[in-house]
Amino acid sequence: MTTVMVVEDDENMRVAVAAQLGAAGLGVHVCGDLAAAGRALGSHAYDCAVFDRMLPDGDSLGYVDALRRQGWHTPVLFLTARDSPADRVAGFEHGADDYLVKPFAMAELTQRVLNLCGRSGSDRPSVLRHDDLVMDCARREVRRADVLLTLSNKEFAVLEYLLVRSGQAVSRAELLEHCWAAAPEEMGDKSNPVDAVVKRLRRKLREPELIHAVRGLGYRFGAQ
């Protein structure tokens, strides 16, 4: 199912938007502040995110801008009462894909979100394959030898990135940039969390091994 995260601190607005998007066939995850959004992004992948501009713990403009600088590409729509040309320009300069001024028509919001959800999947291959490994990106399912594997959001992201770059050496820094942008809290006290995720992936993928260490750099996916 196509899923959307809605970050809005006004409870009535949050409920109304979630109901409208849900009626359009979208899965909706609601958050009331940026802290909750960070936790949600750390455990889920979304096709679109809708952010109110001014939230209890900060301006979402800077939050999204920081994620963009770390490589996060999920389409974002900002909802805001700030309607000056300068505000609109700032929104697009800091990572907005769309910008809707309050008050707005729910039908218009729904159509804009549906358009962004369609854009998010337009350049993503629906199915990736390598020998007996099949990754269905749309369904977010991974099978090996026709056995369904249970992967965390981070494990899925790392495996997808390595699989797309199959046969190429990928550095730990590159994996951090592309797979950890949405959830810095997952890094915890580890200086580099990539190794821990890859270790779990190797165990779940079983033999023969598909993810190989590249000495002094990172990892490579494919036959040895």
pTM (2 d.p.):
0.55
DSSP alpha helix (H) spans, 98-205: 106-120, 153-164, 172-179, 194-205
Half-sphere exposure (Cβ direction) of 167: Cα atoms closer than 13 Å: 1
Query: What's the one-letter identity of residue 206?
Result: R
User: What confidence score (pLDDT) does residue 188 get?
Assistant: 44
User: What confidence score (pLDDT) does residue 178 get?
Assistant: 66
User: What confidence score (pLDDT) does residue 224 get?
Assistant: 67
- Which residue stretches of the chain have pLDDT < 70? 1, 119-126, 177-178, 180-191, 224
| CA pair distance 10, 114, nearest whole angstrom | 22
User: What confidence score (pLDDT) does residue 181 get?
Assistant: 43
> 127-221 has which fold?
Arc Repressor Mutant, subunit A (1.10.10)
Q: Where are the domains of the chain?
A: 3-120, 127-221
Q: What CATH number has the domain spanning 3-120? A: 3.40.50.2300
User: What confidence score (pLDDT) does residue 11 get?
Assistant: 92
User: What digits encode the pLDDT tens for the residues 121-134?
Assistant: 444 556 888 889 99
